[in-house]
């Protein structure tokens, strides 16, 4: 410690030094330590501030807590009952005096959906007409030939004839529907696709027609006529879509010749078309004398 600092502490009274010690929060720690050393040098022990005495505790008895919740004495319950009855009566009277709510406005009927025609490649089904055509075709066969076909090989020939006729008329009905639509000017934009559907139906006939069958004379003649009709009609279906504009098919000599032949062959099998109801036209050859 330097002489100037020692003089500083030597000049202080004991009370001044004790003040430094009693208030350490006001001065630097080094100053507090120096004040303590000076007091010890003088033979005066620095006094330590005694802790403040706590005031004596006084017992206070707790006051009784106020009861929580509603009081449920007889008087309280009676008042509550009277209040509820009064409110109920007021609600009933109010409901009676209140005018009824206005009736809800009827909902506006929705407009029915509009039906829109859509082009489709579907062709009408002729299952019923096909079954009828097959039955009529078998019925016009000679009775003796039908009986012989039933007796031979457990009736296999007759079953084969029926199956061939069924496949034939399934394709022929579709073909006649399309050609009649073309002649009447009602062919749709999907005509080419429809013609392809009919040609696919003819393919079922083609698969069965490649075999040789043991038919009687009348059944064999029908089979040969059906083969000729099938060949011509498939050719017509292949060419007609390109000849639809302005009904150019009507001026096509090949198609006209095929139509004449088909009419004559079909006339030998049945009288009229199962689709249009129009009679098939037989070709009459005129002989010049």
Express each pLDDT in 87-103 by its tens digit. Answer: 665 555 556 566 666 67
Into how many domains does the chain fold? 2
Please report whether residue 82 resides in a domain: no
Residues 24 and 144 occupy one common structural domain: no
Please report whether residue 33 resides in a domain: yes
Task: Please check the confidence at residue 63 and state whether its pLDDT lies above 80.
Answer: no
Arithmetic mean of pLDDT over the chain:
83
Please report whether residue 115 resides in a domain: no
Residues 136 and 250 occupy one common structural domain: yes
How far separated are the first and last CA of the chain, in Å rounded? Answer: 171
Please compute Rg for the chain using Cα positions: 61
Per-residue pLDDT, 24: 83
Task: Please check the confidence at residue 150 and state whether its pLDDT lies above 70.
Answer: yes
Residues 36 and 149 occupy one common structural domain: no
Per-residue pLDDT, 60: 45
Please report whether residue 148 resides in a domain: yes
Per-residue pLDDT, 52: 43
Per-residue pLDDT, 114: 67
Pairwise CA distance, residues 89 & 96, whole Å: 11
Residues 36 and 131 occupy one common structural domain: no
Please report whether residue 159 resides in a domain: yes
Per residue in 16-57, pLDDT (tens digit) is 888 888 888 777 888 888 888 888 888 876 655 444 444 444
To the question of pTM greater than 0.75 for the whole model, the response is no
Q: Which of 142-146, 148-152, 218-222, 237-241 has the lowest mean pLDDT?
A: 148-152
Residues 37 and 131 occupy one common structural domain: no
Residues 149 and 259 occupy one common structural domain: yes
Per residue in 188-209, pLDDT (tens digit) is 999 999 999 999 999 999 999 9
Per-residue pLDDT, 54: 43
Please report whether residue 218 resides in a domain: yes
Please report whether residue 287 resides in a domain: no
DSSP 26-73: GS-HHHHHHHHHHHHHTT-PPPPPPPPPPPPP---PPPPPPPPS---S
Please report whether residue 86 resides in a domain: no
Residues 132 and 260 occupy one common structural domain: yes
Query: Helices 217-239 and 253-267, interaxial angle, to 10°?
Result: 150
Per-residue pLDDT, 100: 64
Structural domain boundaries, residue 251: 127-267
Residues 148 and 257 occupy one common structural domain: yes
C-alpha angle 233/230/215, rounded to 5°?
A: 160
Q: Please state the rounded mean pLDDT for residues 111-117.
A: 63
281, 264 Cβ separation under 8 angstroms: yes
Residues 17 and 139 occupy one common structural domain: no
């Amino acid at each position: 410690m330097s002489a100037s600092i020692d003089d500083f502490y030597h000049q202080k009274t004991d009370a001044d030094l004790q003040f430094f010690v009693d208030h350490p929060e006001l001065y630097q720690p080094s100053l507090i330590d120096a004040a303590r050393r000076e007091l010890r040098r003088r033979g005066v022990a620095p006094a330590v501030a005694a802790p403040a005495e706590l005031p004596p505790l006084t017992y206070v008895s707790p006051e009784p807590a106020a009861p929580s919740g509603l009081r449920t004495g007889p008087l309280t319950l009676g008042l509550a009952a009277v209040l509820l009855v009064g409110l109920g009566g007021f609600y009933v009277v109010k409901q009676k005096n209140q005018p009824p709510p206005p009736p809800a406005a009827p909902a506006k009927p929705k407009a029915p959906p509009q039906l829109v025609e859509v082009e489709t490649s579907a062709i009408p089904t002729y299952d019923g007409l096909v079954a009828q055509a097959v039955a009529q075709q078998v019925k016009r066969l000679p009775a003796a030939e039908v009986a012989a076909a039933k007796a031979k090989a457990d009736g296999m020939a007759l079953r084969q004839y029926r199956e061939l006729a069924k496949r034939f008329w399934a394709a022929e009905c579709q073909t006649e529907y399309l050609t009649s639509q073309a002649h009447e000017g009602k062919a749709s934009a999907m005509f080419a696709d429809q013609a392809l559907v009919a040609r696919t139906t003819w393919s079922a006939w083609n698969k069965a027609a490649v075999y040789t069958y043991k038919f009687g004379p009348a059944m064999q003649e029908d089979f040969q006529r059906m083969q000729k009709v099938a060949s011509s009609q498939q050719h017509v279906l292949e060419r007609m879509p390109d000849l639809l504009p302005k009904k150019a098919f009507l001026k096509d000599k090949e198609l006209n010749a095929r139509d004449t032949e088909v009419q004559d062959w079909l006339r030998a099998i049945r009288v009229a078309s199962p689709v249009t109801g129009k009679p098939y036209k037989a070709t009459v050859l005129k002989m010049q004398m």
